[in-house]
């Protein structure tokens, strides 16, 4: 009697496995909230043992912080993609702001609201939130400075203009969990109007710049 060869389990490279874990944790964070991320929950989603998740992330709080970082970085790359750099600054700013103001990234607005609340109690997450805020603030400030040099924008305080824009976006994001506030055009155009006022753009410029050519 001959025995059949036993199937061997293929181990994924550490970098690939770690990325898989972070992706799963970020998906849980976006769909259900950062509080729902546990080693067991991520393991169940991936069909592995919790010990494997613990090998890469011994503390659940570390996984929460890195899952937030992963999701926030993906958001920034989607809204300010490096491939768009050849486009005019006004077009890139429009592509950043219009999806945010039109609710296209509502899940991420909820994630930021969730992360800022939990960061009061989790030092690691607080550091991650600050780091992602800094990266977004720097990227947007550089875009504004480029627009000033190109003659698209008019401001003598690029950082100040950026702060006005981002605080307005964050203020709108505070309503991400509330579907009872008035659905008024002022809310949809508030961040766009703030940007246009602080950058010397005529009203309606950014919404028009976000439309594909010919529309």
- CA–CA gap between residue 113 and residue 115 (Å, rounded): 6
Query: Which domains occur in the chain, in start order?
Result: 68-210 (1.10.357.10)
Spell out a b/e string for 154-164, using b for 16 or more CB atoms within 10 Å of the CB, else e: ebeebeebbeb
> What are the residue ranges of helices labelled H in 80-122?
89-101, 106-118
Write out the chain's pLDDT in tens, 215 residues: 444 444 444 678 888 999 999 999 999 999 999 999 999 999 999 999 999 999 999 998 999 999 999 999 999 999 999 899 899 999 999 999 998 887 777 888 899 999 999 999 999 999 999 999 999 999 999 999 999 999 999 999 999 999 999 999 998 887 766 666 666 666 678 899 999 999 999 999 999 988 765 44
Question: What pTM does this model have?
Answer: 0.85
């Amino acid at each position: 009697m001959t025995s059949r060869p036993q199937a061997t389990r293929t181990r994924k490279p550490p970098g690939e496995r770690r990325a898989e874990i972070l992706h799963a944790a970020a998906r849980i964070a976006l769909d259900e909230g950062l509080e729902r991320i546990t080693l067991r929950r991520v393991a169940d989603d991936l069909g592995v043992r919790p010990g494997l998740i613990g090998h890469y992330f011994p503390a659940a709080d570390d996984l929460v912080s890195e899952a937030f970082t992963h999701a926030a970085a993906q958001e920034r790359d989607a809204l300010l993609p490096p491939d768009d750099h050849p486009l005019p600054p006004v077009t890139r700013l429009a592509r950043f702001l219009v999806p945010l103001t039109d609710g296209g990234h509502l899940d991420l607005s909820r994630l930021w609201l969730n992360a800022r609340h939990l960061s009061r109690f989790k030092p690691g997450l607080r550091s991650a939130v600050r780091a992602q805020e800094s990266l977004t603030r720097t990227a947007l400030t550089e875009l504004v400075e480029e627009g000033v040099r190109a003659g698209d924008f008019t401001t003598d305080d690029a950082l100040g203009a950026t702060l006005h824009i981002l605080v307005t976006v964050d203020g709108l994001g505070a309503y991400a969990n509330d579907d009872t506030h008035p659905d008024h055009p002022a809310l949809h155009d508030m961040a766009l109007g703030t940007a246009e006022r602080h950058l010397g753009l005529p009203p309606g410029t950014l919404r028009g710049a976000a439309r594909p050519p010919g529309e």
